[in-house]
Structure 1
């Protein structure tokens, strides 16, 4: 149990830590069993997984679960399209460490935003893997551009999944700081950086659900995929 990788959202148990909270018809094991599983250990518990009896009936727990999942779906959207054209408060740039124009999403955002974006990025100097920085949107429909540097996939040997999760967390920290209501993400690290799309998608959805559960002021988080496969 020390290697437990349960889901913070539907509280199920899966050895690989994946989340199926969006699967139609899925009911978390904690609802059926009437127990609450504490994913993060309680004080002084070390790595022990602690169980507590559920305080509500199975019917009220089911109603609450499906309602929360419905609301979550309404605040998350996945589309195929061009991120530079999205009418949102902020878009996220899958940047490189120099924050200069590159290929893929990064190059497209810089071209659409204009030279003002490049000049501001020069002032920011660099951005390390997993970090995030914010600039104005300039010629983009979005007011802000949040730049984050995803990990280069090296077979998972260097905990790339943790770095990618940190990208999302740092982006969401800026979303809160700047009181952004709507934000569009690209598929971070899955292009030239080679991060497997399925693994990246699970991380993206997991971090987004965690953020939206504690932040009720954000109205919409979009994932804008450049092609249908992604």
Structure 2
């Protein structure tokens, strides 16, 4: 499956506004090990200031990264940290693309609506859409989290979508799980019966399974110098 995903495209595939060129993307780390994160990581407002300043200082429009990154940001939410340390979910399974609220979100490939849901736990995805794809007779899924509430209007399971088609808009912190605006983009091989939701963060205990079931989204996005 890894090779099949890698072979789908030799060029970068877009999941946000195509009018933003790849030259305006920059890697970012929000890992626990990043000593620049001196602000209150529990505050979505302070995160937004940090992200916006980072983009402005580097003359970029999108900051991206985070696959298999260990993060402290989830410690603020009982949804993630109510378990023992061994089972604590703090390893990120997708790539985040940090940019402005209301940025257009695009289907990474042709597919259909698998499911959608507003995941309203604090620190969760908020409005989420999952697409089903088939390539080289292999079925897999792409998840788009932290969307606007209106993005879920007028959707139906089974609706066909085309690569590059606008499927949603990014939400702000009032609806997206209380984060600075960004897209959580994740690939999934087996949905395990989930609808409109799938774990986007793993514990160290379950990481081997999730690394296999959620391959690196950069196999499709092909973003340079991913953190």
**Is this a same-fold pair by TM over 0.5?**
no
Higher relative helix content: 1
- Bigger RCO (CA 8 Å, 6+ sep): 2
Provide TM-score, normalisation by structure 2: 0.28
Which has the greater radius of gyration? 1
Provide TM-score, normalisation by structure 1: 0.28
Higher relative strand content: 2
